[in-house]
């Protein structure tokens, strides 16, 4: 499609004579648009017949429907007014909407608009060429321009620019195009009167570029560079939107999964008690990160078994403890329990300074202080999470079991 309609949107410059060729092609390739006809109107036996007819110039009045439509379009485009463009052209992609706002910063006005047209696929559509002078802000000389439009009639009998064949759509393939319209445009652009009008505007454009160095610089460098930056910024912003949408979608899925898991946990939860001091892990694996410790006799809410571990409620989240250290009933405070690394009758080398208390609670009086690097002899591990010890001074008392590990 792009190859078939490119010459409608691009002035055919002589590369050997005019060094402004590529820069202006970039400009025209962005500015000019092609349009699609509706599919619900009757076709001629030869749908391409309109392309071979002779140009008609819309000279009746500046208030004719066709000229009013194009003048409204150009005013909206020059103003960067996307809403106004959408009132006369459809569809307008988000990318083109962004470009309209960008390009409107540089255009002062479209002047001397002349409308030439031929019949489209049916008597309610038109192949339209529009010549004009583009006045850029801060540039004295206007640039001659030529646009192509495919104008159709909506169900209410109102003319509109069928924007499906715009340069944006042909480049980005955002919407599917009607092959009959593509063929019609290809035939149209080969006609002598169409090419003669292109050649005339071509010459006027070249003369303006040679006359005004500011216009030359603007169209050869300033605008193409700005357009590249706009495109890069747009792509970056679109990528950001896509990522944000993906993140939002993932969060929604995670929230749904979490809600289902919460409902399942609520249904399956049971109360258990630790039979000894245990380590709480982040996952069902003792080699993983440790979240903390629970004393013997701690009450926990168990949700599920995962291998040799149980998933429990811990610190407003989940944690894992070895299932073998959980029981249905709470052990008595005087019950002896096993504590990893603390063997009754054995010696424990202290890594921290500890207070040896008279009874198994933090408020009990201190009978001795055992310093880091000293050893204590273990008596018994209790379900309360305390261990009886004897210090090197011969003092006996109780120390929290976790401080000995």
pLDDT at position 58 is 66
Tens-digit pLDDT profile for residues 89-116 = 999 999 999 999 999 999 999 998 899 9
Give every CB contact of residue 225 below 8 A, 6+ residues apart in sequence: none
pLDDT higher than 80, residue 331: no
Instruction: Evaluate whether 2-241 and 269-327 have a shared fold.
Output: no
pLDDT at position 64 is 86
**Whether domain 269-327 has CATH 2.30.30.40:** yes
Q: Strands 89-90 and 159-162: what pairing? A: parallel
332-364 in b/e form (b: 16+ CB < 10 A) is: eeebebebeebeeeeebebeeebbbbeebeeee
CA 20 to chain centre: 37
What is the residue extent of each domain of the chain?
Answer: 2-241, 269-327, 347-404
pLDDT at position 9 is 35
What mean pLDDT do residues 121-135 have? 92
Q: Please compute, for residue 382, the number of CA atoms within 13 A of its CA located in the half-sphere on the CB side.
A: 17
What mean pLDDT do residues 337-360 have? 88
275, 384 Cβ separation under 8 angstroms: no
Which of 20-24, 25-29, 161-165, 241-245 has the least mean pLDDT?
20-24
Let me know if 259 is exposed, middle or buried by CB neighbors in 10 A (0-12, 13-18, 19+).
exposed
159: confidence class by pLDDT, cuts 50, 70, 90: very high
What mean pLDDT do residues 134-149 have? 94
Tens-digit pLDDT profile for residues 272-298 = 998 877 889 999 998 889 999 887 788
Read off φ and ψ for residue 185, nearest 5 degrees.
-65, -40
CA angle 158/162/165 to nearest 5° reads 170
**Which of these, 382, 375, 355, 377, lies nearest to 367 by C-alpha position?**
355
330: confidence class by pLDDT, cuts 50, 70, 90: confident
pLDDT higher than 60, residue 24: no
Which of 2-16, 132-146, 157-171, 277-291 has the least mean pLDDT?
2-16
CA 152 to chain centre: 35
Domain 347-404 adopts which CATH fold?
A: SH3 type barrels. (2.30.30)
Structure tokens at 266: 């609520």
Mean of per-residue pLDDT scores for the chain? 84
Domain 2-241 adopts which CATH fold?
A: Nuclear Transport Factor 2; Chain: A, (3.10.450)
Q: Which helix (H) or strand (E) holds 127?
A: strand 126-136
Torsion of CA 35, 37, 43, 48, to 10 degrees: 0
Which pTM value belongs to this model?
A: 0.60
């Amino acid at each position: 499609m792009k190859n078939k309609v490119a010459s409608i949107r691009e002035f055919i410059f002589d590369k050997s004579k005019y060094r402004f060729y590529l820069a202006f092609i970039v400009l025209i390739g962005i500015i000019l648009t092609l349009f699609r006809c509706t599919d619900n109107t009757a076709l001629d036996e030869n749908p391409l017949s309109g392309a071979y007819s002779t140009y008609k110039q819309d000279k009746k009045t500046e208030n004719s429907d066709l000229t009013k439509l194009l003048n409204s379009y150009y005013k909206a485009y020059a103003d960067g007014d996307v809403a106004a463009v959408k009132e006369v052209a459809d569809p307008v992609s988000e990318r083109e909407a962004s470009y309209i706002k960008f390009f409107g910063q540089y255009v002062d006005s479209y002047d001397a608009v002349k409308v030439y047209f031929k019949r489209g696929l049916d008597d309610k559509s038109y192949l339209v060429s529009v010549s004009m002078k583009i006045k850029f802000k801060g540039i004295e000389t206007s640039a001659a321009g030529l646009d192509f439009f495919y104008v159709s009639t909506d169900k209410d009998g109102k003319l509109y620019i069928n924007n499906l064949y715009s340069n944006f759509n042909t480049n980005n393939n955002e919407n599917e195009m009607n092959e009959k319209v593509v063929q019609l445009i290809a035939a149209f652009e080969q006609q002598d009167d169409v090419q003669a009008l292109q050649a005339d505007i071509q010459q006027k454009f070249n003369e303006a570029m040679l006359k005004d160095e500011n216009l030359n610089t603007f169209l050869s460098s300033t605008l193409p560079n700005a357009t590249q930056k706009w495109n890069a910024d747009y792509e970056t912003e679109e990528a950001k939107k896509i990522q944000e949408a993906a993140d939002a979608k993932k969060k929604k899925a995670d929230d749904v999964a979490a809600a289902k898991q919460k409902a399942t946990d609520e249904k399956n939860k049971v109360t258990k008690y630790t039979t000894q001091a245990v380590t709480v892990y982040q996952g069902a694996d003792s080699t993983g990160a440790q979240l903390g410790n629970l004393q013997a006799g701690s009450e926990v809410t168990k949700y599920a078994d995962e291998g040799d571990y149980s998933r429990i409620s811990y610190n407003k989240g989940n944690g894992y403890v070895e299932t073998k250290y959980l029981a249905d009933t709470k052990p008595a405070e005087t019950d002896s329990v096993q504590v990893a690394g603390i063997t009754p009758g054995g010696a424990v080398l202290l890594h921290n300074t500890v207070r040896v208390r008279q009874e198994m609670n933090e408020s009990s009086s201190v009978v001795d202080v055992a310093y880091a690097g000293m050893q204590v002899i273990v008596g018994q591990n209790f379900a309360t999470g305390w261990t009886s010890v004897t210090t090197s001074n011969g003092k006996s008392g109780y120390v929290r079991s976790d401080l000995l590990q």
